[in-house]
């Protein structure tokens, strides 16, 4: 009978334990096989979509899950830009009544419009197979959750961001399903 303080039992001859300095392969040890994307942009040019915005409506080669996710992100971004334009006009009207508040509202509207534009760019990069863009869109979904919670806590819950969060949650889940995962793995092998 062995004593637990004796240390680990010797391994069978010819078998080596897995190294402790790197994660186990998927399916072994119950670890989630997540790695930070290695394809991060090195400069602003790398972050821009290839061919600019001309490929906005082309989704050929994507699995259905990524097509749906892509369109949710793009339509959400376009609606955010439209809301930004309307918000700018609202802030300009507010200048006549409460100038200090109007400046704050204008800054928040411009920030929201910039994030909506970034969402469209990230969706285009995700469509190209950039894993860093998929991770950034996932972070945007997390930010949407925080905005939803803040809206519920500090307002009377009318006009909250709940629908926006549900849409971004659906788009995020679709980016991480196994079929999408295998598409990103195949895209990683492309130049």
32-53 mean pLDDT: 68
Q: Report the alpha-carbon distance of residue 123 to residue 118 in Å, rounded.
A: 8
Residue 101 lies in a domain: yes
Of 112, 123, 46, nearest in space to 81 by CA: 112
Q: Report the alpha-carbon distance of residue 60 to residue 74 in Å, rounded.
A: 16
**pLDDT confidence of residue 51:** 72
Residue 191 lies in a domain: no
pLDDT at 81 over 50: yes
pLDDT at 30 over 60: no
Residue 98 lies in a domain: yes
Q: Report the alpha-carbon distance of residue 119 to residue 77 in Å, rounded.
A: 6
Residue 1 lies in a domain: no
Q: Report the alpha-carbon distance of residue 132 to residue 55 in Å, rounded.
A: 19
Residue 164 lies in a domain: yes
Tokens of 27: 């399916």
Tell me how many degrees the CA angle 58-62-64 measures, rounded to the nearest 5: 110
- Residue 134 binned pLDDT confidence (cut-offs 50, 70, 90): very high
The chain-wide mean pLDDT, for the chain, equals: 78
pLDDT tens figures, 149-179 = 776 776 665 555 678 788 889 999 999 999 9
Residue 150 lies in a domain: yes
179 burial (CB, 10 Å; 0-12 / 13-18 / 19+) is: exposed
Domain that holds residue 167: 62-182
Tell me how many degrees the CA angle 97-105-44 measures, rounded to the nearest 5: 150
Q: How many domains does the chain have?
A: 1
Q: Report the percent of the chain where pLDDT is more than 90.
A: 28
**pLDDT confidence of residue 24:** 47
Alpha helix (H) residue ranges in 3-98:
44-47, 64-94
Tokens of 49: 């979509």
Residue 43 lies in a domain: no
More confident residue, 145 or 31: 145
By the 8 A CB rule, do 113 and 81 touch? yes
Residue 28 lies in a domain: no
């Amino acid at each position: 009978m062995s004593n637990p303080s004796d240390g680990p039992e010797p391994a069978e001859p010819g078998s080596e334990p897995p190294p402790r300095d790197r994660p186990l392969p998927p399916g072994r040890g119950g670890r989630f096989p997540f790695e930070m994307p290695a394809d991060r942009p090195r400069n602003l040019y790398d972050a821009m979509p290839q061919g600019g915005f001309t490929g906005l409506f082309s989704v050929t080669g994507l699995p259905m899950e990524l097509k749906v996710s892509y369109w949710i992100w793009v339509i959400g971004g376009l609606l955010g830009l439209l809301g930004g334009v309307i918000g700018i006009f609202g802030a300009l009207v507010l200048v006549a009544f409460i100038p200090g508040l109007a400046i704050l509202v204008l800054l928040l509207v411009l920030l929201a419009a910039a994030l909506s534009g970034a969402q469209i760019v990230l969706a285009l990069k995700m469509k190209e197979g950039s894993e860093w863009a998929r991770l950034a869109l996932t972070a945007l979904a997390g930010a949407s959750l925080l905005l939803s919670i803040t809206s519920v806590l500090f307002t009377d819950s009318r006009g909250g961001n709940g629908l926006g969060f549900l849409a971004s949650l659906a788009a995020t889940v679709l980016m991480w399903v196994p079929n999408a995962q295998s598409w990103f793995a195949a895209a990683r092998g492309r130049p």
